[in-house]
Structure 1
Amino acid sequence: MNVVDQAGRVGRSRRRLLVAALIPVVAVLAIRTLLVEPVTVSSDSMAPTIPPGAVVFLFKPAVAAGWIRNGVVVAFASPADGRTAIKRVIAGAGQRVAIRDSELFVDDVAVAEPFIDHSRIDGTYFGPETVPAGSVFVLGDNRGVSIDSRDFGAVPLTAIQGTLVQGTLLTGQK
């Protein structure tokens, strides 16, 4: 075997090794960019459902798939400060939202919210307000401290980054 053949084999081996190393990196980047992204929750607006510091995973294609509906937890760039906000969709386009003494009403029908501690938000009133076309109305589960659609209005569907993947809550607690 001559030196040229040996150098060619070494070069091909290095290229194969480089390709083999790059494939998993490209796959992870593609999955994170297109499908699922981890997000750390920075506020207590969804507590106790999602505590601050928890890591949740967002399913990005949910908007295109038409999976945004009442009760789903979504992430979007907050109109208040541009940071990623995580809130629960309460109502969609054309629905009428009101809060009367901490009880949520959508289209004048009381909505059961077992994840809300009503004793912490007693005396809260809002609306009624109709959700504009192409938007959703979002609220934090911790209504007493949440900055949400009551403050910045309905969120356009185009602003939604994804939905919370059920069962992906990582609190970091032991």
Structure 2
Amino acid sequence: MPRRRKRPAILLVLVLVAALLIGLLVRTFVLRPLTVSSTSMEPTLCPGDRVLVNLWSPGLDDLSRGDLVALRLDGSEVPVVKRVVGLPGDEVAIRDALLYVNGDVVDEPYVDHKSIDALFYGPVVVPGDRLVVMGDARATSVDSRAYGPVSSERLLGTIAARWPTGDC
């Protein structure tokens, strides 16, 4: 009789160990949780919001303008979240608070244009292995306007899901 009781216990331990290993593999190579720590993406993301970063294939070919991405910038271990506004070959500019990509105005309902009235940037042509990223809170965001186009090597992944805290 004691043997029968040991088998379910051993099976339970094996299932738990397998679940932990699978969870660790998923967190390391597929999806990683991240807590937003700055106000640069307000009102889209607020400090304390949680996001899930898709690590699966964070290459430049997988990105579109408007995507939210997590990046690791030079000199910082803490990833940041920004919006892709320019892909390789694009000409990016801001004229009087409006974003222009390849000469066309980009509709950005998440940006408070009144807070950045008279803001100008560029034009900048995005090099082949880089992207231009900006925060939605353009008045306070430190982004490609300050540190230039970001190398694709700095890209961690795209934002797959978000859980707002409702604090902004």
Larger of the two Rg values belongs to structure: 1
CA shift, 1:158, in A, is 2.2
> 2-side partners of 1:172 and 1:99: how far apart?
29
How do 1:6-85 and structure 2 match up within 5 A? 15-64=10-59, 66-79=61-74, 81-85=76-80
Unpaired runs of 5+ in structure 2? none
> 1-side partners of 2:62 and 2:141: how far apart?
24
> 2-side partners of 1:26 and 1:151: how far apart?
41
1:21-45 deviation line (CA, Å, top 9, x unaligned): 2011111111111111110000000
Q: TM-score normalized by structure 1?
A: 0.86
How do 1:1-174 and structure 2 match up within 5 A? 15-64=10-59, 66-79=61-74, 81-166=76-161, 168-171=162-165
> 1-side partners of 2:71 and 2:39: how far apart?
16
> 2-side partners of 1:169 and 1:10: how far apart?
42
Identical columns (%)? 35
Is the CA contact 1:62–1:68 (under 8 Å) kept in the aligned structure 2?
no
> 2-side partners of 1:124 and 1:154: how far apart?
18
CA shift, 1:171, in A, is 1.5
Aligned alpha-carbon RMSD (Å): 2.2
> 1-side partners of 2:63 and 2:134: how far apart?
14
